[in-house]
Amino acid sequence: MAVTEEPDNTPLPGTVFTPRQVRILKIAVIVMGILLVGGFGLVMATIVYQATQLGKEEAIAPQAALAEGAGIELVIPPDATVTSMALDGDRLALHLQTSAGPEIAVIDVVSGTVVSRIKLNANKP
């Protein structure tokens, strides 16, 4: 009784891999190489795109939104003092100390409007 072996299951001389495994390995290496080159090209294209868009983004400066020479007028009580300020993007928070108690005024510096006034209450429940 003669046993015939399939030619696909015999290892190549000097290796433990069959021709089918070598063919799959070649396909995998080619696909991964294409993915690497494509990914690198995508990263380079993104860098070039971002670099060319730097000057085109128009960030509105606070002075650009207001008329030339105009300022923001915040009405505060005569006895109030500004104890601190904090700027975050286009919002300015002023901590005011008044005779009625502390308060925080949040101002949109682009439009010059008062977004909110927060009265701070130090009374404990």
Which sequence spans correspond to the domains of the chain? 8-52, 62-119
84-121 pLDDT per residue, tens: 999 888 889 999 988 888 889 898 888 878 888 888 88
Tens digit of pLDDT for each residue in 22-66? Answer: 899 999 999 999 999 999 999 999 999 988 887 665 555 544 555
Under 8 Å between Cβ of 18 and 5: no
- Whether the full predicted model's pTM is greater than 0.75, yes or no, is no
CA distance 72 to 84: 17
* Tokens, residue 1: 């009784």
